[in-house]
Amino acid sequence: MTLAAATELATATLATATNENLANLSNMLIYSAMAVYTLAFFAYIVEWLFGSRSKVARTAAALTAGPGQAKAKAKAKGPAVTVKSAGGTTVLERPEVVVRSSAGARDVPDGPGAHGGDEQGDLYGRIAVSLGVLAFLVQLGGVIARAASVQRAPWGNMYEFNITFSTVVVGVYLLLLALKKNVRWLGLFLTTTVLLDLGLAVTVLYTESAQLVPALQSYWLIIHVSTAIFCGAVFYVGAVGTLLYLFKDSYESKLAGGGKPGRFATSVLERLPASASLDKFAYRVNAAVFPLWTFTIIAGAIWAESAWGRYWGWDPKETWSFITWVAYACYLHARSTAGWKGRKAAYIALIAFGCWLFNYYGVNIFVSGKHSYSGV
């Protein structure tokens, strides 16, 4: 049998093993999820636009009053605020007072959230979250249908990785909400990037549903790649928190120095948690998932030995996975070192997440290696 004939036979065999009806159903569900995410995006926009702006002097007042007075005022107000309306009573969370990690001498309260402590804004935020839950379930159905169409884990190429990755990102966000964490400020940023990710997946990265090459047909595909996807999703959440921390810290520093930020910056940044809260959130998220990223690299090495007969060969994907590990290790060390807390550590965290992004997009698209056969 000639090489061309063997290739045609293999292609025909892979196509026969694919359930086209389920593959088409998966595509339809992914597009439907994008439509619902778009509705959620607009609901989050309305939450930010129509939420009350009457509390935007919160940080400025705290910095002007001084650390002791700000904390006393916050304690005197109590744990919650009640908003009465004709239809009943709505209880909104009262932000806690925290100490800025970078300065350590000023008490700055967390912002009231995108809804601005307003009942109407809070309603739009709840609608946005509900739409996000619906979109998540529809997208999850699309991922499951994709897996069922080929009867394997749905992350054998970059398209499948992208749709699964964004599903897990939303799942992490919804899990934090379910655990009563004050992270709804993530909603607009997360929904925007998920839409961009899915748009890239269905236009540039789309790959027809097909079986995998023999080297990828291993139970390590489920173990190694699933942990990599989950780590990436959590790293993404940490990166958003870090980026917002840098903006909020600059805003607080400008106020502390007697400056007057712009109206737009005041309206947006005053609603976010204090810089210390954002810094702490990003650190805890990255620190929690770092051991799992370590396991991901170890699992990949074990799989490499099974597939290629060696644990480590400095393949581009292996190299950049290790570089990412080193970058996050440096961040965690810097974050626990007095001289590198705050903005310096935050820059390292963003560089580390940039390494993770390049490890996936850059290595797969621009660099050739043993991982290249998984397809775009």
Do 301 and 322 sit in the same domain of this protein?
A: yes
- Cβ-proximal residues to 159 (8 Å cutoff; 6+ apart), any chain: 201, 202, 205, 206, 207, 376
Do 317 and 341 sit in the same domain of this protein?
A: yes
Q: 34-53: string of b/e by CB count within 10 Å (b at 16+)?
A: bebbebbbebbbbbbebbbb
Is 69:108 a contact under the CB 8 Å cutoff?
no
Do 139 and 160 sit in the same domain of this protein?
A: yes
Determine, yes or no, domain membership for 201. Answer: yes
Do 353 and 244 sit in the same domain of this protein?
A: yes
Do 194 and 303 sit in the same domain of this protein?
A: no
How many domains does the chain contain in total? 2
Do 217 and 201 sit in the same domain of this protein?
A: no
Closest CA to 43 of 115, 137, 117: 115
Beta-bridge mates of residue 83: 90
- The Cα-based distances of 356 to 231, 244, 300, 361 in angstroms read 10, 19, 15, 9
Burial class of residue 133, CB neighbours in 10 A (0-12, 13-18, 19+) = middle
Determine, yes or no, domain membership for 293. Answer: yes
Task: Give SS3 for 89.
Answer: strand
Is 146:155 a contact under the CB 8 Å cutoff?
no
Residue after which a domain boundary falls, among 173, 195, 211:
211
- HEC string of 219-260? HHHHHHHHHHHHHHHHHHHHHHHHHHHHHHHHHHHHHHCCCC
Is 205:163 a contact under the CB 8 Å cutoff?
no
Do 346 and 292 sit in the same domain of this protein?
A: yes
Do 186 and 328 sit in the same domain of this protein?
A: no
Residue after which a domain boundary falls, among 162, 194, 211:
211
Closest CA to 22 of 190, 151, 189: 151
Determine, yes or no, domain membership for 11. Answer: no
Residue after which a domain boundary falls, among 211, 237, 252:
211
Determine, yes or no, domain membership for 146. Answer: yes
Do 45 and 179 sit in the same domain of this protein?
A: yes
Q: What is the pLDDT of residue 300?
A: 87
Q: What angle do CA 276, 168, 46 make, to 5 degrees?
A: 65
Cα–Cα dist 270/252, whole Å: 9
Do 194 and 253 sit in the same domain of this protein?
A: no
Cα–Cα dist 349/353, whole Å: 6
Residue 230 lies in domain? 212-376
Cα–Cα dist 115/234, whole Å: 25
Tens of each residue's pLDDT in the chain, 376 residues: 444 444 444 444 444 457 888 989 999 999 999 999 999 999 999 998 887 665 555 566 666 555 444 444 444 444 444 444 455 545 454 444 444 444 444 568 888 888 888 888 889 999 999 999 999 999 999 999 999 988 888 887 889 989 999 999 999 999 999 988 889 999 999 999 999 999 999 998 888 877 666 666 677 778 888 999 999 999 999 999 999 999 999 988 888 888 787 877 788 888 889 999 999 999 999 999 999 999 999 998 888 888 777 888 788 888 999 999 999 999 999 888 767 778 889 999 999 999 999 988 888 777 766 555 445 5
Determine, yes or no, domain membership for 63. Answer: no
Determine, yes or no, domain membership for 123. Answer: yes
Type of residue numbered 180: K
Do 130 and 216 sit in the same domain of this protein?
A: no
- And the tokens for 50? 């129509």
Q: What is the pLDDT of residue 372?
A: 56
Do 173 and 251 sit in the same domain of this protein?
A: no
The count of other CB atoms within 10 Å of the CB of residue 333 is 12
Whats the size of the chain, residue-wise? 376
Determine, yes or no, domain membership for 61. Answer: no
Determine, yes or no, domain membership for 296. Answer: yes
